[in-house]
Structure 1
Amino acid sequence: MNTKYIDLINQSFYFPQDEFKLEDKNLQFHDIDLMKLVEDYGTPLKFTYLPQISNNINRAKGWFAKAIKKHKYKGKYSYCYCTKSSHFKHVLNEALKNDIHIETSSAFDIDIVEKMKAEGKITDKTYVISNGFKREQYVTNIARLINNGHKNCIPIIDNYEEIDLLSQEINGKFNIGIRIASEEEPKFEFYTSRLGIGYKNILPFYRNQVKDNKKVKLKMLHFFINTGIRDNAYYWNELSKCLKVYTSLKQICPSLDSLNIGGGFPIKNSLAFEYDYEYMVDEIVNQIKLFCEQEEVPVPNIFTEFGSFTVGESGGAIYEVLYQKQQNDREKWNMINSSFITTLPDTWAINKRFIMLPINRWNDSYERVLLGGLTCDSDDYYNSEQHMNAIYLPKYNKEKPLYLGFFNTGAYQETIGGFGGLQHCLIPSPKHILIDKDENGKLTTELFSEQQKSEDLLKILGYNE
């Protein structure tokens, strides 16, 4: 009978996959010996596999290069990293190895840009696309960056007051972009994004505030929708509306030469994940070219701002099952040695699913379980996988430790979870490991941060001076 966990996986998916395989009955992720990681550092732990950041950047750059060549597209492509997905220096260091640009969303982002610029990781040629709602400190920081010579900083105008606010602090002329307030899918609780300026208002806004303003030059139109880049009627319809605005603007604004289509590439959240990235890039480039030809305007340079796609698939978390609680005839709770609310907050906040697999015991028989975290909050649980609407794991055995891995967790979880700060029920943040490759391709590990101690939390709370 096929009753082992490995049998379940083989019956449900194509396995092994590019990043996942078994070695000596244990799971490996990008050839990382996860059980060795557990033995060396213990659990709970988080890790970042840095080479995957460069891998994904270069995959996307390759897709756009291929589409541009195929369609004889005359514009250039620029890859921007959306820093809010993960602000850590080790992430920026890896991403900036690949001739990319930066998208910022708040005041302190500019401080990071200046730090990286001082180290030579960012130069005046690097585009800094400044999104977000801008007031005082953000405006001041953008102005400082531009006044210090960074002319490739392009603030994206989000509302009607920002041009005046920026003009008061920026010396001389500066480039701007305008963000389109896209219309949301019907299932959303609101009709139009709070970010940017409405489709119908952009041309009047340009005529009233930009056209005769000798201090500003419009270079970029920015387009992004919350649900991301999907092959559905909604996305293509919104892109078409965006292109209509772009071509109408271009006909009266010669300086406009760039279209920023934002981020929104999905990342793998299941072993059954399917998404044709190459097709989507090819069709986007094709649609932009066809629309511009129809309206008889030059094609724009294309910018993207991939955040989760850049860093998401580099991250992982590993926990140990501490104990199993049989709460009724049907429900078995496997209790992990950490908290989902604090370490993977998106599982709690937006019901997000990550790839979840056991690290060891793949040759053991399996059972259906629920996963519970250590906090006393009723919402601290993880109860289903998208591909099977249930969790199946090797059967609990108190004599045989079971370790679980959650993968592709590298975007947003640390910042939303409040890295280094207070955690719900004072459950400590786990240790964090950086995994890289040396010049010979050998995997290396480095401890980035220790697990939080009682003293760290008590100091924040005011108990320790």
Structure 2
Amino acid sequence: MNTKYIDLIEQTFDFPQEEFKTENNKLFWHGINLMELTAKYGAPLKFTYLPKISENINKAKGWFQESIEKHNYKGKYFYSYCTKSSHFKHILNEALKNDIHIETSSAFDIDIVNNLKKDGKIKDNTFVICNGFKRDQYIKNIGSLINSGHKNVIPIIDNYEEINLLLDETDKKLNVGIRIASEEEPKFEFYTSRLGIGYKNIVSFYEREIATNKQVDLKMLHFFINTGIKDNAYYWNELMKCLNVYINLKKVCPTLDSLNIGGGFPIKNSLAFDYDYAYMIDEIINQIQQACDEAGVDVPHIFTEFGSFTVGESGAAIYEILYQKKQNDRERWNMINSSFITTLPDAWAINKRFIMLPINKWNRQYERVLLGGLTCDSDDYYNSEQHINGIYLPVYEKDNPLFIGFFNTGAYQESIGGFGGLQHCLIPHPKHLIIDRDEDGNLVTKIFKEQQKSSELLSILGYGEVTESKTESENLIKQEVI
């Protein structure tokens, strides 16, 4: 009888997969022995595997290049990383190894750009695309970057006043883009995006505010779909509307030469994940080419802004199952030694799914469970994943600890979770590792941030210097369930 956990996975999915395999009933991820990692550094544990960032960047660049050559497309492709997905220096350093460009969202982003320029990571020819609604400091920082001589700065105009505000900060040539206020999916609570300028108003806005201003050139049309690039009627309809705007603008604006198809690629959130990236890219290139050829205008250079696709699949987290609570005849709650609200906020805030697999005990029988976090909040749980109807894990044994991993968690979780700051119910943020490979392919691991201590949290709360007991420090992981 096939009743082991590995039987369940092999019967349900095509397994092993490119990044997942098992040896001696233990899980390996990108060749990393996760039980060895846990034994050395403890749990809860978060970590970032840097090589996956470069891998995904180069996959996308390869797909675009293949399609450009196939269609004899005359424009160029530029890969941009939107920093809001993860602002950490080790993330940007890895991404920028691959000749990419940057998209920013706020004033402090420009400070990061300046820091990376000093380190030689960002060059003078790196495009810095400045998105978002721009408050005073953001405007000033963009102007300062332009005044410093960085020519490839493209502020994306989000409202009618931003051009004049930017012109107050610089006497240099100003290259700008315009963001389209795209229509949202029918299921959204609102009809049109709050960001950008409406389809019907863009040409008149250009003619009124930009065409006669010799200091300003319109270079880019920015098109963003909140739900990302998907093969559905909604996406293709919005793309065609965007192309109509581009064509109409291009006919009156000779400086316009770029189209930014913002909106990211999905990332793997299940062992059953299936998405044809190459097909989608090829069809986008084909649609742009056909529309421009029929209208008799030059095709644009294409920019993408991939955040989650760049960094999401580089992140993972490991937890220990501390205890199992049998609340009734049907529900078994496996309590993790951390908090989902603290460490995977998207899981409870927007019901985002991640790949979840046990790290050990793959040869044991399995049971259906619910996963609960340590906080005294009823929302601190994770109750469904790739098995659709529930979570199945190896049977809980008090004297034989079970460890579980959540994978592809690298985008947004740290910033939304308040990395380094206050945490819900003061459950500390886990230790965070950075994992890389040397020139010979050997793993190189270092601690980026130790698990938070009581003294750090109490200091933020205004209690000043606090002496942390040795017992407390040693038992941060083994907290009692609230």
| TM-score grouping bracket, smaller chain normalisation | over 0.9
What per-residue deviation string (whole Å, max 9, x for no partner) do you get for residues 270-324 of structure 1?
0000000000000000000000001000000000000000000000000000000
What per-residue deviation string (whole Å, max 9, x for no partner) do you get for residues 168-213 of structure 1?
0012221000000000111110000011000001011101101101
How many Å apart are 1:215 and its aligned residue?
Answer: 1.3
Measured in 1, the distance between the counterparts of 2:213 and 2:60 equals 37
Measured in 2, the distance between the counterparts of 1:170 and 1:134 equals 16
What is the identity percentage for the equivalent residue pairs of Structure 1 and Structure 2? 75
Measured in 2, the distance between the counterparts of 1:180 and 1:206 equals 13
How many Å apart are 1:386 and its aligned residue?
Answer: 4.0
Residue of structure 1 equivalent to 2:417: 417
Residue of structure 2 equivalent to 1:28: 28
Equivalent position amino acid for 2:177 in 1: G
Measured in 2, the distance between the counterparts of 1:269 and 1:143 equals 40
- Note the 1:258-407 alignment, pairs <5 A: 258-407=258-407
Equivalent position amino acid for 1:356 in 2: M
Measured in 2, the distance between the counterparts of 1:414 and 1:24 equals 32
Measured in 1, the distance between the counterparts of 2:135 and 2:270 equals 40
- Note the 1:418-433 alignment, pairs <5 A: 418-433=418-433
Q: What secondary structure, in the 3-state scheme, does the structure 1 residue paired with 2:367 have?
A: strand
Q: What secondary structure, in the 3-state scheme, does the structure 2 residue paired with 1:121 have?
A: coil
| Correspondence 1:60 to 2:60 | yes
Residue of structure 2 equivalent to 1:87: 87
Measured in 2, the distance between the counterparts of 1:150 and 1:170 equals 12
Kept in 2, the 8 Å contact 1:383–1:391? The answer is yes
Q: Gaps (5+ residues) in structure 2?
A: 466-482
Residue of structure 1 equivalent to 2:476: none
How many Å apart are 1:389 and its aligned residue?
Answer: 2.2
Equivalent position amino acid for 2:49 in 1: Y
Measured in 2, the distance between the counterparts of 1:41 and 1:60 equals 34
How many Å apart are 1:214 and its aligned residue?
Answer: 1.3
Residue of structure 2 equivalent to 1:97: 97
305-314 vs 377-386, which deviates more? 377-386
What per-residue deviation string (whole Å, max 9, x for no partner) do you get for residues 327-383 of structure 1?
000000000000000100001110101000000000000000000000000000000
What per-residue deviation string (whole Å, max 9, x for no partner) do you get for residues 421-451 of structure 1?
0000000000000000001111111000000
Measured in 2, the distance between the counterparts of 1:304 and 1:348 equals 29
- Note the 1:76-225 alignment, pairs <5 A: 76-225=76-225
Q: What secondary structure, in the 3-state scheme, does the structure 1 residue paired with 2:206 have?
A: helix
Measured in 1, the distance between the counterparts of 2:229 and 2:170 equals 35
How many Å apart are 1:388 and its aligned residue?
Answer: 2.2
Q: What secondary structure, in the 3-state scheme, does the structure 2 residue paired with 1:109 have?
A: helix
Measured in 2, the distance between the counterparts of 1:107 and 1:60 equals 29
| Correspondence 1:254 to 2:254 | yes
TM superposition outliers: structure 1 runs of 4+ over 4 Å: none
Q: What secondary structure, in the 3-state scheme, does the structure 1 residue paired with 2:287 have?
A: helix
How many Å apart are 1:460 and its aligned residue?
Answer: 0.1
How many Å apart are 1:464 and its aligned residue?
Answer: 1.5
Kept in 2, the 8 Å contact 1:25–1:361? The answer is yes
Q: What secondary structure, in the 3-state scheme, does the structure 1 residue paired with 2:180 have?
A: strand
Q: What secondary structure, in the 3-state scheme, does the structure 2 residue paired with 1:48 have?
A: strand
Equivalent position amino acid for 1:217 in 2: D
| Correspondence 1:232 to 2:232 | yes
TM, length-normalised to structure 1? 0.99
Measured in 2, the distance between the counterparts of 1:267 and 1:163 equals 35
Measured in 1, the distance between the counterparts of 2:379 and 2:56 equals 33
Q: What secondary structure, in the 3-state scheme, does the structure 2 residue paired with 1:434 have?
A: strand
Kept in 2, the 8 Å contact 1:272–1:387? The answer is no
Kept in 1, the 8 Å contact 2:431–2:451? The answer is yes
Measured in 1, the distance between the counterparts of 2:363 and 2:24 equals 11
Equivalent position amino acid for 2:361 in 1: R
Equivalent position amino acid for 2:216 in 1: V
Measured in 1, the distance between the counterparts of 2:390 and 2:449 equals 33
